[in-house]
Amino acid sequence: PVIQCDIRQGRTAEQKQAMAEAITRAVHETIGAPVEYIYVLIRETPGAHHVKAGRTLPEYTGDG
């Protein structure tokens, strides 16, 4: 399985690693895929590249 995550820039390397590990664990536990076959791709883009209801999102600051 390939899981793609598109997030705003600003998370730490540790946060992204923890997210990838949690996603890997969830996929393994849910569908039984061997961990060594689970691929997590994290793409980071500026907040201006994320548009919700026609409005761009602010840059990620960790406040929510």
- The catalytic residue positions are 1
Query: How far, in Å, are 17, 24, 48, 54, 58 from residue 39 at the CA level?
Result: 13, 8, 27, 31, 29
Q: What are phi and psi of 28, to 5 degrees?
A: -60, -50
